[in-house]
Chains A and B, each alone.
Chain A
Protein backbone atom coordinates (compact mmCIF):
# COMPACT_ATOMS: atom_id res chain seq x y z
CA UNK A 1 0.00 0.00 0.00
CA UNK A 2 1.25 3.54 -0.67
CA UNK A 3 2.78 4.98 2.47
CA UNK A 4 0.84 8.18 1.98
CA UNK A 5 -2.39 6.38 2.78
CA UNK A 6 -1.00 5.25 6.10
CA UNK A 7 0.28 8.70 6.81
CA UNK A 8 -3.07 10.27 6.11
CA UNK A 9 -4.85 7.65 8.13
CA UNK A 10 -2.52 8.14 11.07
CA UNK A 11 -2.82 11.89 10.83
CA UNK A 12 -6.58 11.61 10.69
CA UNK A 13 -6.66 9.48 13.81
CA UNK A 14 -4.18 11.78 15.45
CA UNK A 15 -6.23 14.85 14.63
CA UNK A 16 -9.42 13.24 15.79
CA UNK A 17 -7.63 12.61 19.05
CA UNK A 18 -6.60 16.23 19.20
CA UNK A 19 -10.14 17.37 18.49
CA UNK A 20 -11.34 15.14 21.26
CA UNK A 21 -8.87 16.70 23.69
CA UNK A 22 -10.03 20.11 22.58
CA UNK A 23 -13.75 19.56 22.75
CA UNK A 24 -14.43 17.16 25.59
CA UNK A 25 -14.69 18.05 29.24
CA UNK A 26 -14.57 14.64 30.77
CA UNK A 27 -11.03 13.98 31.93
CA UNK A 28 -11.31 10.27 31.20
CA UNK A 29 -12.45 10.84 27.64
CA UNK A 30 -9.69 13.37 27.11
CA UNK A 31 -7.27 10.76 28.32
CA UNK A 32 -8.78 8.24 25.94
CA UNK A 33 -8.34 10.66 23.08
CA UNK A 34 -4.70 10.94 23.99
CA UNK A 35 -4.49 7.14 23.82
CA UNK A 36 -6.02 7.44 20.38
CA UNK A 37 -3.24 9.81 19.39
CA UNK A 38 -0.66 7.34 20.63
CA UNK A 39 -2.26 4.59 18.60
CA UNK A 40 -2.16 6.71 15.51
CA UNK A 41 1.54 7.07 16.09
CA UNK A 42 1.91 3.32 16.58
CA UNK A 43 0.14 2.61 13.34
CA UNK A 44 2.34 4.98 11.44
CA UNK A 45 5.45 3.52 13.05
CA UNK A 46 4.53 0.07 11.89
CA UNK A 47 3.79 1.36 8.43
CA UNK A 48 7.14 3.11 8.27
CA UNK A 49 8.79 -0.04 9.53
CA UNK A 50 7.41 -1.88 6.57
CA UNK A 51 8.26 0.98 4.26
CA UNK A 52 11.88 0.82 5.26
CA UNK A 53 11.74 -2.92 4.84
CA UNK A 54 10.53 -2.31 1.32
CA UNK A 55 13.31 0.23 0.82
CA UNK A 56 15.92 -2.28 1.86
CA UNK A 57 15.14 -4.31 -1.27
CA UNK A 58 15.50 -1.17 -3.33
CA UNK A 59 19.11 -0.70 -4.30
CA UNK A 60 18.75 3.04 -4.86
CA UNK A 61 17.94 3.70 -1.25
CA UNK A 62 20.36 3.82 1.60
CA UNK A 63 19.63 0.86 3.79
CA UNK A 64 19.40 1.81 7.41
CA UNK A 65 17.00 -0.56 9.02
CA UNK A 66 14.90 -3.59 8.51
CA UNK A 67 12.08 -2.02 10.49
CA UNK A 68 12.48 -3.97 13.70
CA UNK A 69 13.49 -0.89 15.65
CA UNK A 70 10.25 0.80 14.77
CA UNK A 71 8.18 -2.11 15.94
CA UNK A 72 10.14 -2.20 19.17
CA UNK A 73 9.50 1.46 19.55
CA UNK A 74 5.81 0.68 19.33
CA UNK A 75 6.36 -1.82 22.06
CA UNK A 76 7.99 0.78 24.26
CA UNK A 77 5.19 3.23 23.54
CA UNK A 78 2.76 0.67 24.79
CA UNK A 79 4.88 0.20 27.91
CA UNK A 80 4.89 3.89 28.57
CA UNK A 81 1.20 4.16 27.82
CA UNK A 82 0.49 1.50 30.38
CA UNK A 83 2.55 3.32 32.97
CA UNK A 84 0.85 6.56 32.15
CA UNK A 85 -2.55 5.02 32.43
CA UNK A 86 -1.71 3.76 35.90
CA UNK A 87 -0.68 7.15 37.07
CA UNK A 88 -3.30 9.04 35.12
CA UNK A 89 -6.19 7.02 36.37
CA UNK A 90 -4.83 7.28 39.90
CA UNK A 91 -4.80 11.02 39.57
CA UNK A 92 -8.29 11.09 38.12
CA UNK A 93 -9.59 8.91 40.89
CA UNK A 94 -7.93 11.08 43.48
CA UNK A 95 -9.50 14.09 41.88
CA UNK A 96 -12.86 12.42 41.85
CA UNK A 97 -12.55 11.61 45.51
CA UNK A 98 -12.09 15.25 46.27
CA UNK A 99 -14.60 16.99 44.03
CA UNK A 100 -16.83 14.16 42.87
CA UNK A 101 -16.45 15.11 39.27
CA UNK A 102 -14.06 14.50 36.44
CA UNK A 103 -15.11 17.61 34.54
CA UNK A 104 -11.99 19.54 33.64
CA UNK A 105 -13.95 22.77 33.58
CA UNK A 106 -14.13 22.58 37.32
CA UNK A 107 -10.37 22.81 37.36
CA UNK A 108 -10.07 26.55 37.47
CA UNK A 109 -8.87 27.49 40.88
CA UNK A 110 -5.47 28.09 39.39
CA UNK A 111 -5.56 30.81 36.84
CA UNK A 112 -4.25 34.20 35.72
Chain B
Protein backbone atom coordinates (compact mmCIF):
# COMPACT_ATOMS: atom_id res chain seq x y z
CA UNK B 1 0.00 0.00 0.00
CA UNK B 2 2.94 2.31 0.69
CA UNK B 3 3.86 2.23 -2.93
CA UNK B 4 0.39 2.87 -4.32
CA UNK B 5 -0.33 5.86 -2.15
CA UNK B 6 3.12 7.34 -2.35
CA UNK B 7 3.39 7.05 -6.06
CA UNK B 8 0.01 8.72 -6.56
CA UNK B 9 1.05 11.47 -4.21
CA UNK B 10 4.37 11.87 -5.91
CA UNK B 11 2.56 12.17 -9.21
CA UNK B 12 0.60 15.05 -7.77
CA UNK B 13 3.75 16.58 -6.30
CA UNK B 14 5.42 16.49 -9.68
CA UNK B 15 2.37 18.08 -11.30
CA UNK B 16 2.72 20.98 -8.92
CA UNK B 17 6.47 21.13 -9.32
CA UNK B 18 5.80 21.70 -12.97
CA UNK B 19 3.59 24.62 -12.12
CA UNK B 20 6.02 26.32 -9.77
CA UNK B 21 9.27 25.79 -11.55
CA UNK B 22 10.63 25.22 -15.00
CA UNK B 23 14.11 24.56 -13.77
CA UNK B 24 14.97 21.21 -15.26
CA UNK B 25 17.45 20.14 -12.68
CA UNK B 26 14.96 20.85 -9.89
CA UNK B 27 12.39 18.70 -11.60
CA UNK B 28 14.93 15.99 -12.10
CA UNK B 29 16.05 16.12 -8.52
CA UNK B 30 12.51 16.04 -7.18
CA UNK B 31 11.60 13.13 -9.40
CA UNK B 32 14.68 11.14 -8.53
CA UNK B 33 14.40 11.87 -4.84
CA UNK B 34 10.73 10.97 -4.95
CA UNK B 35 11.48 7.72 -6.60
CA UNK B 36 14.14 6.94 -4.07
CA UNK B 37 11.60 7.62 -1.36
CA UNK B 38 9.15 5.35 -3.10
CA UNK B 39 11.71 2.62 -3.35
CA UNK B 40 12.64 2.96 0.30
CA UNK B 41 9.00 2.94 1.33
CA UNK B 42 8.45 -0.23 -0.59
CA UNK B 43 11.51 -1.86 0.91
CA UNK B 44 10.20 -0.78 4.28
CA UNK B 45 6.95 -2.54 3.55
CA UNK B 46 8.84 -5.62 2.52
CA UNK B 47 10.28 -5.60 5.99
CA UNK B 48 6.86 -5.20 7.51
CA UNK B 49 6.88 -1.47 8.15
CA UNK B 50 3.64 -0.09 6.80
CA UNK B 51 3.17 3.63 6.47
CA UNK B 52 -0.57 3.43 5.93
CA UNK B 53 -2.98 1.10 7.58
CA UNK B 54 -5.76 0.69 5.06
CA UNK B 55 -8.47 -1.88 5.07
CA UNK B 56 -8.41 -2.98 1.48
CA UNK B 57 -11.34 -5.35 1.99
CA UNK B 58 -9.32 -8.04 0.31
CA UNK B 59 -9.23 -6.11 -2.91
CA UNK B 60 -5.47 -5.72 -2.70
CA UNK B 61 -3.22 -8.37 -1.28
CA UNK B 62 0.38 -7.55 -0.63
CA UNK B 63 2.60 -10.58 -0.68
CA UNK B 64 6.32 -11.04 -0.96
CA UNK B 65 6.06 -11.79 -4.60
CA UNK B 66 4.35 -8.54 -5.46
CA UNK B 67 6.51 -6.47 -3.15
CA UNK B 68 9.69 -7.96 -4.48
CA UNK B 69 8.50 -7.18 -7.92
CA UNK B 70 7.73 -3.62 -6.92
CA UNK B 71 11.21 -3.25 -5.54
CA UNK B 72 12.64 -4.48 -8.78
CA UNK B 73 10.41 -2.23 -10.83
CA UNK B 74 11.23 0.82 -8.74
CA UNK B 75 14.93 0.07 -8.76
CA UNK B 76 14.81 -0.31 -12.50
CA UNK B 77 12.95 2.97 -12.74
CA UNK B 78 15.53 4.61 -10.54
CA UNK B 79 18.27 3.47 -12.86
CA UNK B 80 16.13 4.62 -15.73
CA UNK B 81 15.80 8.05 -14.18
CA UNK B 82 19.48 8.26 -13.47
CA UNK B 83 20.33 7.35 -17.02
CA UNK B 84 17.61 9.06 -18.96
CA UNK B 85 16.13 11.85 -16.85
CA UNK B 86 17.84 14.49 -18.97
CA UNK B 87 16.53 12.91 -22.09
CA UNK B 88 13.00 12.79 -20.71
CA UNK B 89 13.16 16.51 -20.23
CA UNK B 90 14.34 16.97 -23.77
CA UNK B 91 11.21 15.42 -25.26
CA UNK B 92 9.00 18.46 -24.81
CA UNK B 93 8.23 21.39 -22.61
CA UNK B 94 6.11 19.50 -20.11
CA UNK B 95 8.96 17.89 -18.27
CA UNK B 96 7.37 17.71 -14.86
CA UNK B 97 4.19 16.28 -16.30
CA UNK B 98 6.08 13.45 -17.92
CA UNK B 99 7.49 12.55 -14.56
CA UNK B 100 4.06 12.84 -13.01
CA UNK B 101 2.68 10.46 -15.60
CA UNK B 102 5.50 8.04 -14.93
CA UNK B 103 4.64 8.11 -11.25
CA UNK B 104 1.01 7.43 -12.07
CA UNK B 105 2.11 4.51 -14.15
CA UNK B 106 4.16 3.24 -11.24
CA UNK B 107 1.04 3.53 -9.16
CA UNK B 108 -0.73 1.36 -11.71
CA UNK B 109 2.15 -1.10 -11.66
CA UNK B 110 1.98 -1.42 -7.91
CA UNK B 111 -1.78 -1.93 -8.14
CA UNK B 112 -1.53 -4.72 -10.69
CA UNK B 113 1.20 -6.42 -8.71
CA UNK B 114 -1.13 -6.75 -5.74
CA UNK B 115 -4.68 -6.74 -7.08
CA UNK B 116 -7.11 -9.29 -5.84
CA UNK B 117 -10.19 -8.32 -7.76
CA UNK B 118 -10.77 -7.96 -11.43
CA UNK B 119 -12.01 -4.44 -10.90
CA UNK B 120 -8.65 -3.33 -9.63
CA UNK B 121 -6.92 -5.22 -12.38
CA UNK B 122 -9.00 -3.28 -14.84
CA UNK B 123 -8.36 0.03 -13.13
CA UNK B 124 -4.69 -0.69 -12.72
CA UNK B 125 -4.28 -1.61 -16.37
CA UNK B 126 -6.09 1.56 -17.36
CA UNK B 127 -3.96 3.67 -15.03
CA UNK B 128 -0.97 2.22 -16.76
CA UNK B 129 -2.38 2.54 -20.26
CA UNK B 130 -3.77 6.05 -20.31
CA UNK B 131 -0.53 7.83 -19.32
CA UNK B 132 1.26 5.65 -21.80
CA UNK B 133 -0.95 6.81 -24.65
CA UNK B 134 0.04 10.30 -23.71
CA UNK B 135 3.71 9.62 -23.32
CA UNK B 136 3.72 7.90 -26.68
CA UNK B 137 2.29 10.98 -28.28
CA UNK B 138 4.32 13.44 -26.24
CA UNK B 139 6.59 14.38 -29.09
CA UNK B 140 3.76 16.35 -30.57
CA UNK B 141 5.41 17.68 -33.69
CA UNK B 142 6.68 14.30 -34.68
CA UNK B 143 4.21 12.57 -36.96
CA UNK B 144 5.55 9.16 -35.99
CA UNK B 145 4.87 9.92 -32.38
CA UNK B 146 1.33 11.06 -33.24
CA UNK B 147 0.70 8.04 -35.32
CA UNK B 148 2.02 5.72 -32.64
CA UNK B 149 -0.14 7.37 -30.00
CA UNK B 150 -3.28 7.06 -32.03
CA UNK B 151 -2.60 3.47 -33.02
CA UNK B 152 -1.78 2.60 -29.46
CA UNK B 153 -4.84 4.34 -28.18
CA UNK B 154 -7.29 2.79 -30.64
CA UNK B 155 -5.98 -0.69 -30.25
CA UNK B 156 -5.55 -0.29 -26.52
CA UNK B 157 -9.16 0.73 -26.05
CA UNK B 158 -10.25 -2.08 -28.28
CA UNK B 159 -8.44 -4.51 -26.05
CA UNK B 160 -10.00 -2.82 -23.02
CA UNK B 161 -13.37 -3.66 -24.51
CA UNK B 162 -12.34 -7.28 -24.89
CA UNK B 163 -11.00 -7.37 -21.38
CA UNK B 164 -14.26 -6.03 -20.02
CA UNK B 165 -16.27 -8.56 -21.96
CA UNK B 166 -14.11 -11.24 -20.44
CA UNK B 167 -14.53 -9.90 -16.93
CA UNK B 168 -18.29 -9.73 -17.36
CA UNK B 169 -18.57 -13.29 -18.52
CA UNK B 170 -16.45 -14.47 -15.63
CA UNK B 171 -18.64 -12.51 -13.31
CA UNK B 172 -21.69 -14.05 -14.87
CA UNK B 173 -20.37 -17.49 -14.10
CA UNK B 174 -19.09 -16.89 -10.62
CA UNK B 175 -20.95 -13.91 -9.32
CA UNK B 176 -17.88 -12.18 -8.01
CA UNK B 177 -14.92 -10.18 -9.22
CA UNK B 178 -12.61 -11.43 -6.55
CA UNK B 179 -10.08 -13.76 -8.10
CA UNK B 180 -9.52 -16.08 -5.19
CA UNK B 181 -13.17 -16.26 -4.16
CA UNK B 182 -14.08 -17.01 -7.73
CA UNK B 183 -12.50 -20.37 -7.32
CA UNK B 184 -14.73 -21.45 -4.52
CA UNK B 185 -17.95 -20.47 -6.16
CA UNK B 186 -19.01 -23.06 -8.61
CA UNK B 187 -22.21 -22.87 -10.51
CA UNK B 188 -22.70 -25.91 -12.58
CA UNK B 189 -23.62 -25.27 -16.14
CA UNK B 190 -21.99 -21.87 -16.24
CA UNK B 191 -18.40 -22.99 -16.54
CA UNK B 192 -18.42 -22.23 -20.22
CA UNK B 193 -19.05 -18.57 -19.44
CA UNK B 194 -16.12 -18.64 -17.15
CA UNK B 195 -13.90 -20.30 -19.71
CA UNK B 196 -14.91 -17.95 -22.49
CA UNK B 197 -14.49 -14.96 -20.23
CA UNK B 198 -11.14 -16.12 -19.09
CA UNK B 199 -10.10 -16.63 -22.67
CA UNK B 200 -11.14 -13.09 -23.55
CA UNK B 201 -9.27 -11.81 -20.54
CA UNK B 202 -6.26 -13.84 -21.57
CA UNK B 203 -6.45 -12.32 -25.03
CA UNK B 204 -6.57 -8.79 -23.75
CA UNK B 205 -3.71 -9.39 -21.36
CA UNK B 206 -1.80 -11.00 -24.20
CA UNK B 207 -2.40 -7.80 -26.07
CA UNK B 208 -0.93 -5.76 -23.25
CA UNK B 209 2.20 -7.89 -23.05
CA UNK B 210 2.35 -7.97 -26.86
CA UNK B 211 1.98 -11.66 -27.38
CA UNK B 212 1.27 -12.83 -30.89
CA UNK B 213 -1.12 -12.55 -32.63
CA UNK B 214 -2.07 -9.52 -30.56
CA UNK B 215 1.31 -7.89 -30.76
CA UNK B 216 0.81 -5.72 -33.82
CA UNK B 217 0.79 -2.46 -31.96
CA UNK B 218 4.15 -3.11 -30.36
CA UNK B 219 6.64 -2.48 -33.15
CA UNK B 220 4.86 0.59 -34.40
CA UNK B 221 4.34 2.10 -30.99
CA UNK B 222 7.80 1.34 -29.71
CA UNK B 223 9.23 2.68 -32.89
CA UNK B 224 7.12 5.80 -32.97
CA UNK B 225 7.27 6.77 -29.31
CA UNK B 226 10.09 8.97 -28.08
CA UNK B 227 12.94 6.58 -27.36
CA UNK B 228 13.16 7.37 -23.66
CA UNK B 229 9.55 6.42 -23.21
CA UNK B 230 9.89 3.35 -25.35
CA UNK B 231 12.50 2.28 -22.90
CA UNK B 232 10.13 2.69 -19.98
CA UNK B 233 7.26 1.11 -21.83
CA UNK B 234 9.23 -1.89 -22.99
CA UNK B 235 10.64 -2.65 -19.60
CA UNK B 236 8.94 -1.63 -16.41
CA UNK B 237 5.47 -1.37 -17.83
CA UNK B 238 5.69 -4.60 -19.70
CA UNK B 239 7.08 -6.35 -16.66
CA UNK B 240 4.29 -4.91 -14.55
CA UNK B 241 1.63 -6.20 -16.87
CA UNK B 242 3.35 -9.54 -16.90
CA UNK B 243 3.21 -9.72 -13.16
CA UNK B 244 -0.49 -8.98 -13.35
CA UNK B 245 -0.86 -11.65 -15.94
CA UNK B 246 0.92 -14.20 -13.82
CA UNK B 247 -0.98 -13.17 -10.72
CA UNK B 248 -4.25 -13.44 -12.52
CA UNK B 249 -3.66 -16.87 -13.89
CA UNK B 250 -2.04 -18.11 -10.75
CA UNK B 251 -5.59 -18.68 -9.54
CA UNK B 252 -7.72 -18.63 -12.60
CA UNK B 253 -6.19 -21.31 -14.73
CA UNK B 254 -5.94 -23.81 -11.98
CA UNK B 255 -9.53 -23.05 -11.03
CA UNK B 256 -11.00 -23.36 -14.44
CA UNK B 257 -10.52 -27.08 -14.67
CA UNK B 258 -9.47 -26.82 -18.29
CA UNK B 259 -6.22 -27.59 -19.91
CA UNK B 260 -4.92 -24.20 -20.89
CA UNK B 261 -1.54 -25.39 -21.84
CA UNK B 262 -2.43 -25.85 -25.48
CA UNK B 263 -3.50 -22.32 -26.21
CA UNK B 264 -0.83 -20.82 -24.01
CA UNK B 265 1.75 -22.87 -25.83
CA UNK B 266 0.37 -21.81 -29.19
CA UNK B 267 0.45 -18.17 -28.22
CA UNK B 268 3.92 -18.58 -26.77
CA UNK B 269 5.21 -20.28 -29.87
CA UNK B 270 3.65 -17.70 -32.14
CA UNK B 271 5.11 -14.89 -30.08
CA UNK B 272 8.56 -16.38 -30.10
CA UNK B 273 8.36 -17.05 -33.79
CA UNK B 274 7.09 -13.68 -34.90
CA UNK B 275 9.24 -11.71 -32.52
CA UNK B 276 12.46 -13.41 -33.37
CA UNK B 277 11.97 -13.94 -37.05
CA UNK B 278 10.78 -10.47 -37.83
CA UNK B 279 13.55 -8.89 -35.80
CA UNK B 280 16.13 -10.33 -38.13
CA UNK B 281 15.35 -8.17 -41.07
CA UNK B 282 15.12 -4.85 -39.30
CA UNK B 283 17.42 -2.04 -40.23
CA UNK B 284 16.71 0.14 -37.23
CA UNK B 285 18.04 -0.96 -33.88
CA UNK B 286 15.08 0.59 -32.16
CA UNK B 287 12.62 -1.40 -34.19
CA UNK B 288 14.72 -4.48 -33.75
CA UNK B 289 14.49 -3.98 -30.03
CA UNK B 290 10.74 -3.65 -30.35
CA UNK B 291 10.55 -7.03 -31.99
CA UNK B 292 13.03 -8.40 -29.53
CA UNK B 293 10.75 -7.28 -26.74
CA UNK B 294 8.01 -9.35 -28.36
CA UNK B 295 10.39 -12.25 -28.47
CA UNK B 296 11.30 -11.79 -24.83
CA UNK B 297 7.62 -11.71 -23.99
CA UNK B 298 7.42 -15.10 -25.62
CA UNK B 299 9.91 -16.39 -23.10
CA UNK B 300 8.09 -14.73 -20.23
CA UNK B 301 4.91 -16.47 -21.30
CA UNK B 302 6.58 -19.68 -20.19
CA UNK B 303 5.78 -18.55 -16.69
CA UNK B 304 2.11 -18.89 -17.57
CA UNK B 305 2.59 -22.01 -19.54
CA UNK B 306 4.14 -23.97 -16.72
CA UNK B 307 2.87 -22.62 -13.52
CA UNK B 308 5.17 -23.82 -10.75
CA UNK B 309 7.68 -22.47 -8.25
CA UNK B 310 10.41 -22.38 -10.81
CA UNK B 311 8.43 -20.16 -13.09
CA UNK B 312 7.58 -17.82 -10.22
CA UNK B 313 11.24 -17.39 -9.44
CA UNK B 314 11.98 -17.23 -13.08
CA UNK B 315 9.59 -14.44 -13.92
CA UNK B 316 11.12 -12.29 -11.21
CA UNK B 317 14.58 -12.93 -12.53
CA UNK B 318 13.38 -12.47 -16.04
CA UNK B 319 11.78 -9.12 -15.40
CA UNK B 320 14.88 -7.96 -13.59
CA UNK B 321 17.29 -9.13 -16.22
CA UNK B 322 15.19 -7.99 -19.08
CA UNK B 323 14.55 -4.59 -17.57
CA UNK B 324 18.16 -3.94 -16.68
CA UNK B 325 19.41 -4.88 -20.08
CA UNK B 326 16.72 -3.14 -22.07
CA UNK B 327 16.90 0.07 -20.08
CA UNK B 328 20.62 0.09 -20.63
CA UNK B 329 20.38 -0.46 -24.33
CA UNK B 330 17.70 2.12 -24.79
CA UNK B 331 19.69 4.61 -22.74
CA UNK B 332 22.56 4.11 -25.13
CA UNK B 333 20.22 4.22 -28.08
CA UNK B 334 18.88 7.58 -26.98
CA UNK B 335 22.38 8.93 -27.17
CA UNK B 336 22.97 7.61 -30.64
CA UNK B 337 22.75 9.96 -33.58
CA UNK B 338 21.64 7.23 -35.93
CA UNK B 339 19.33 4.44 -34.89
CA UNK B 340 20.20 2.07 -37.73
CA UNK B 341 22.71 -0.72 -37.39
CA UNK B 342 25.15 1.30 -39.45
CA UNK B 343 24.90 4.00 -36.85
CA UNK B 344 26.53 1.68 -34.38
CA UNK B 345 29.49 0.92 -36.64
CA UNK B 346 32.73 1.52 -34.87
CA UNK B 347 31.18 2.53 -31.58
CA UNK B 348 33.75 0.44 -29.77
CA UNK B 349 36.40 2.84 -30.94
CA UNK B 350 34.64 6.09 -30.17
CA UNK B 351 32.82 5.06 -27.00
CA UNK B 352 34.42 1.92 -25.60
CA UNK B 353 32.48 1.97 -22.35
CA UNK B 354 29.16 2.29 -24.10
CA UNK B 355 30.05 -0.46 -26.50
CA UNK B 356 31.25 -2.79 -23.78
CA UNK B 357 28.23 -2.30 -21.59
CA UNK B 358 25.87 -2.57 -24.53
CA UNK B 359 27.55 -5.82 -25.39
CA UNK B 360 26.86 -7.14 -21.91
CA UNK B 361 23.25 -6.02 -22.16
CA UNK B 362 22.87 -7.75 -25.48
CA UNK B 363 24.51 -10.90 -24.21
CA UNK B 364 22.08 -10.88 -21.33
CA UNK B 365 19.15 -10.50 -23.68
CA UNK B 366 20.47 -13.35 -25.75
CA UNK B 367 20.68 -15.49 -22.63
CA UNK B 368 24.38 -16.16 -22.55
CA UNK B 369 25.63 -17.60 -19.26
CA UNK B 370 27.36 -15.32 -16.79
CA UNK B 371 24.57 -12.84 -17.31
CA UNK B 372 21.28 -12.75 -15.53
CA UNK B 373 19.56 -13.23 -18.87
CA UNK B 374 20.81 -16.77 -18.87
CA UNK B 375 19.21 -17.62 -15.57
CA UNK B 376 16.04 -15.94 -16.63
CA UNK B 377 15.82 -18.16 -19.66
CA UNK B 378 17.06 -21.11 -17.69
CA UNK B 379 14.26 -20.88 -15.19
CA UNK B 380 11.68 -20.51 -17.91
CA UNK B 381 12.93 -23.53 -19.81
CA UNK B 382 13.43 -25.57 -16.67
CA UNK B 383 9.94 -24.83 -15.47
CA UNK B 384 8.56 -25.96 -18.80
CA UNK B 385 10.62 -29.13 -18.67
CA UNK B 386 9.44 -29.74 -15.16
CA UNK B 387 5.81 -29.34 -16.13
CA UNK B 388 6.46 -32.21 -18.48
CA UNK B 389 3.99 -31.54 -21.26
CA UNK B 390 4.38 -29.87 -24.63
CA UNK B 391 8.11 -30.37 -24.74
CA UNK B 392 8.10 -29.28 -28.35
CA UNK B 393 7.64 -25.78 -27.10
CA UNK B 394 10.91 -25.94 -25.24
CA UNK B 395 12.73 -26.93 -28.38
CA UNK B 396 10.97 -24.33 -30.37
CA UNK B 397 12.03 -21.77 -27.81
CA UNK B 398 15.61 -22.93 -28.13
CA UNK B 399 15.57 -22.51 -31.86
CA UNK B 400 14.15 -19.05 -31.44
CA UNK B 401 16.78 -18.19 -28.85
CA UNK B 402 19.38 -19.17 -31.36
CA UNK B 403 17.79 -16.95 -33.96
CA UNK B 404 17.81 -14.13 -31.45
CA UNK B 405 21.57 -14.43 -31.16
CA UNK B 406 21.79 -13.48 -34.78
CA UNK B 407 20.17 -10.09 -34.45
CA UNK B 408 21.57 -9.22 -31.05
CA UNK B 409 25.00 -10.00 -32.29
CA UNK B 410 24.48 -7.85 -35.32
CA UNK B 411 24.73 -4.89 -33.00
CA UNK B 412 27.89 -6.28 -31.45
CA UNK B 413 29.29 -6.87 -34.89
CA UNK B 414 28.56 -3.29 -35.83
CA UNK B 415 30.14 -1.89 -32.73
CA UNK B 416 33.24 -3.98 -32.67
CA UNK B 417 34.01 -5.46 -36.01
CA UNK B 418 32.95 -2.87 -38.51
CA UNK B 419 34.53 0.43 -39.25
CA UNK B 420 32.60 3.60 -38.74
CA UNK B 421 32.30 6.71 -36.69
CA UNK B 422 29.64 5.57 -34.24
CA UNK B 423 28.50 9.09 -33.50
CA UNK B 424 26.82 9.82 -30.20
CA UNK B 425 25.75 12.86 -28.31
CA UNK B 426 27.90 14.00 -25.48
CA UNK B 427 28.14 11.39 -22.75
CA UNK B 428 28.57 12.41 -19.14
CA UNK B 429 30.86 10.39 -16.90
CA UNK B 430 27.97 9.69 -14.55
CA UNK B 431 26.09 8.09 -17.41
CA UNK B 432 29.03 5.83 -18.06
CA UNK B 433 29.32 4.88 -14.43
CA UNK B 434 25.68 3.99 -14.20
CA UNK B 435 25.92 1.89 -17.31
CA UNK B 436 28.90 0.14 -15.81
CA UNK B 437 26.98 -0.39 -12.60
CA UNK B 438 24.12 -1.96 -14.52
CA UNK B 439 26.43 -4.17 -16.49
CA UNK B 440 28.07 -5.14 -13.24
CA UNK B 441 24.71 -6.00 -11.73
CA UNK B 442 23.82 -8.11 -14.72
CA UNK B 443 26.98 -10.12 -14.35
CA UNK B 444 26.77 -10.28 -10.58
CA UNK B 445 23.24 -11.64 -10.63
CA UNK B 446 24.23 -13.77 -13.56
CA UNK B 447 26.77 -15.56 -11.43
CA UNK B 448 24.95 -15.42 -8.13
CA UNK B 449 21.22 -15.45 -8.85
CA UNK B 450 20.74 -16.49 -5.27
CA UNK B 451 21.04 -12.86 -4.23
CA UNK B 452 17.62 -12.28 -5.78
CA UNK B 453 16.00 -15.61 -5.27
CA UNK B 454 16.69 -15.78 -1.56
CA UNK B 455 14.22 -12.96 -1.06
CA UNK B 456 11.40 -15.20 -2.16
CA UNK B 457 12.14 -17.63 0.63
CA UNK B 458 13.47 -15.61 3.49
Contact = CB atoms under 8 A, between A and B. Distances in A.
Quick check: do A and B touch in the complex, using CB within 8 A?
A: yes
Interface of A: 3, 7, 10, 14, 17, 21, 27, 30-31, 34, 37-38, 40-41, 44-45, 48, 51-52, 55, 61-62, 64-65, 69-70, 73, 76-77, 80, 83-84, 87-88, 90-92, 94-95, 98-99, 104, 107-111
A99 B144 CA distance: 11
A37 B161 contact: yes
B187 interface: yes
Interface in B155-170: 157-158, 160-162, 164-165, 167-169
Interface string B313-346: 0000000000000000000000000000000000
Nearest to B281: A112
A110 B144 contact: yes
A70 to B, nearest CB: 6
**Top 4 A-B pairs ranked by shortest CB distance?**
A64-B175, A37-B161, A110-B220, A41-B164
Given A83-B126, A91-B150, A64 B161 contact: no
A2 B351 CA distance: 70
A91 B149 contact: yes
B30 interface: no
Given A83-B130, A91-B149, A109 B144 contact: yes
Contacts of A104: 150-151, 154
B137 A48 contact: no
Contact of A80 (B123, B158, B181): B123
B144 A69 contact: no
A30 B187 CA distance: 37
B223 interface: yes
B312 to A, nearest CB: 29
A97 B38 CA distance: 38
A14 B150 contact: no
Interface in B110-140: 119, 122-123, 126, 130, 133-134, 137, 140
The prevalent SS among residues of A at the interface is helix
B154 A31 contact: yes
Contacts of B153: 87-88, 91
Interface of B: 119, 122-123, 126, 130, 133-134, 137, 140-141, 143-144, 146-151, 153-154, 157-158, 160-162, 164-165, 167-169, 171-172, 174-177, 181, 185-187, 219-220, 223-224
Given A30-B154, A41-B164, A62-B185, 13 more contacts: A34-B154, A48-B172, A62-B175, A65-B175, A73-B119, A73-B171, A76-B123, A80-B122, A87-B130, A88-B157, A91-B133, A91-B146, A110-B148
Contacts of A51: 172
B174 A73 contact: no
B175 A76 contact: no
Contact of B133 (A65, A77, A87, A98): A87
Nearest to A65: B175
8 contacts: A7-B172, A21-B158, A27-B154, A45-B171, A73-B171, A107-B147, A107-B150, A111-B220
B151 A48 contact: no
B187 A61 contact: yes
A34 B176 contact: no
Contacts of B161: 14, 17, 34, 37-38, 41
A61 B165 CA distance: 24
Contacts of B164: 37-38, 41, 77
